[in-house]
Structure 1
């Protein structure tokens, strides 16, 4: 959101204003109930209350794609002239200065800010798809580029809910089309929107394999950095929470505002090595196992990625 990509409230407003076409009576009634629920609850809660027919699910997917692609491509254009616009680039560079040539990024976002950040730093990114203008699904194993005989540093970006450059063909094959601002004819964006359908859709490929790789990354990690994650997605957090509680893996959370789910997890006391940073009126509020109620760090912006990196690296 710091780079102009709309969040869930803006998407909810856009969907409420959209008009599905050629709906039969049952679908029209379901859409009406969704609109009423979206006024009362947040978007995910509203979508979870109704089992949508394919006509409405496809409408939501297409409208979500059309709404988000503009801001994604606008950030891409800015990135061309300013390679350091996203502090994630500096984080990737820092992490890959070691002998380790591979890092894992797990995200629920559809946008490609992580991929842009990697390439801005001269770092290869891998999302499971191959290379070129018509990208095919390669599977879960990272494909390293080589310069001479040396592997190029790689950021594996595991996008558990899909990406703006993934599309489903008529035979339900998912392909990658790197940079397009127009929805290709006959293709459906391959993104998993909130609601009851996301648990069904993610049983198929490429999501099934990506979720497995995300789980492996979580299980093998020796530390976690969570940027703006609310701990409210069952596709990501179980392995993370389990390892923090069982193996005392260090956890750092930076966010504008901690979600209630994140607060609840940290307050349980099972995670014994954590630091959570959120915005406060005076600067930053920091929560640790020694200060579960938080302490004020006045005059310092440590809750944003840019501010945090100025301290950490």
Structure 2
């Protein structure tokens, strides 16, 4: 496979106005904690005072699973946490991710070229596109910050302002807009004392009688995502995925049941082109894309160093080793711009 081919393939796929899918790897690039670091944080920082005996047993079992090197998602699925224990895990998760998110926001105030995503979105909007859809499993607001730095309006399912309420996509109009569909919730979403979900800007602590609306892995995940606002957000994400001309996956591990099925049906049944850039292709990604029946794919992962990439393409049976960084968003942009 010549250099020309994969570059041309990248440009062809990009030219079909991709829906962008962001996974945890996209945030890890900015220093956000991954599942392993989050697991350690939960063990050390979750408030377990006053739990009943059964909840304490569940917590001990969960901590033991993590010590036995079971990954966090699997550990949370193995135990059945009570509502109270789940709430405490959510609070502890929120505290870590929120403080990291705030740190990145503060750094971005001094570095206006911090987000490659800003350059990607600005480039996409140089065309006749009016809307770009971003679907993400992340709770952080890095996609929103990237939009702000590029003077791009973003919509996450809420009105604008400091105390934001749920709004339909037609309620807010602008000449160009990035829709950011956060299928597992967001750091700034809270259930209010009225039991509706509101979004609060610039909040450093969880307000009294408010609960963070982020869905952690585990048995309650399915239950939670059948309720608002998740139901509407997932519906809008599904619609974006269904209508997509192509997909650009950044640091996405292909392990999420809310995004996965739609994505795979489109790639396998309709041959919708998919580009994946990531530090390391997950087993799920390899199974679904490389060993699956996907006809139109370009997948790039890191080689042995940051300046080496392994390129997998539907144009060639054999992976290609390239001595340059194409696996980060920055590196990918060098292919398409």
Conserved 8 A contact 1:142-1:156:
no
- Unmatched 5+ stretches in structure 1: 146-150
* TM superposition outliers: structure 1 runs of 4+ over 2 Å: 139-142, 290-293
**1:171: how far off?**
3.0
Is the aligned partner of 1:121 residue 2:150? yes
2:332 to 298, 304, 308: 308
Is the partner of 1:257 in helix, strand or coil?
coil
| Number of the residue aligned with 1:157 | 180
Please report how far the alpha carbon of residue 292 of structure 1 lies from its aligned counterpart in structure 2 after TM superposition: 4.1
TM, length-normalised to structure 2: 0.88
Instruction: Kindly state the Cα deviation for residue 293 of structure 1 after the two structures are TM-superposed.
Output: 4.2
Instruction: Name the residue aligned to 1:148.
Output: none
Q: CA deviation at 1:266?
A: 1.7
Q: Hey, what's the Cα distance between the residues in 1 that align with 2:289 and 2:158?
A: 36
Q: C-alpha separation between the residues in 1 aligned to 2:193 and 2:85?
A: 18
Deviations 1:80-107 (A, max 9, x none): 2222200000000111111121010000
- Give structure 2 stretches of 5+ with no counterpart: 1-27
Which structure has more relative contact order (CA 8 Å, sep 6+)? It is 2
Question: Residue 295 in 1 paired to residue 320 in 2?
Answer: yes
1:251-274 per-residue CA deviation (whole Å, 9 max, x = no partner) reads: 100000000000001233411111
| Shift in alpha-carbon separation, 1:285–1:123, aligned structure 2, 3 A | same
- Give, in whole Å, the separation in 2 of the partners of 1:140 and 1:190: 20
Give the distance between the partners of 1:170 and 1:195, measured in 2 at CA: 25
Q: What do the CA deviations read for 1:232-291 (whole angstroms, capped 9, x no partner)?
A: 101111111101111111110000000000000123341111110000015000001233
Q: TM-score, normalised by structure 1?
A: 0.95
Distance 1:259 1:268, change over 3 A: same
Deviation at 1:143, TM superposition (A): 1.7
Deviations 1:178-229 (A, max 9, x none): 1221221221111000111111000000000110111111100000000010
Task: Specify the alignment match of 2:310 in structure 1.
Answer: 285
Alignment of 1:248-263 (within 5 A): 248-263=271-286
Select which of 99, 111, 120 maps to 1:70: 99
In the alignment, the residues of structure 2 paired with residue 8 and residue 292 of structure 1 have an alpha-carbon distance, to the nearest angstrom, of 33
What SS class does the counterpart of residue 232 from structure 1 fall into? Answer: coil
Distance 2:198 2:76 in 1: 26
- Asked whether 1:138 is paired with 2:138, we answer no
- Report the secondary structure of 1:135's partner residue: strand
CA distance in 2, matches of 1:69, 1:244: 34
For the aligned residue pairs, the C-alpha RMSD in angstroms reads: 1.2
Report how far residue 67 of structure 1 moved.
Answer: 0.6
What is the total number of aligned residue pairs between the two structures?
Answer: 306
Do the aligned partners of residues 175 and 310 (structure 1) sit closer, same or farther apart at CA in structure 2, a change above 3 Å counting? same
Counterpart of 2:272 in 1: which secondary structure? coil
Q: Which residue of 1 aligns with 2:57?
A: 29
1:57 corresponds, among 86, 94, 110, to 86
Task: State which of 59, 82, 107 in structure 1 corresponds to 2:111.
Answer: 82
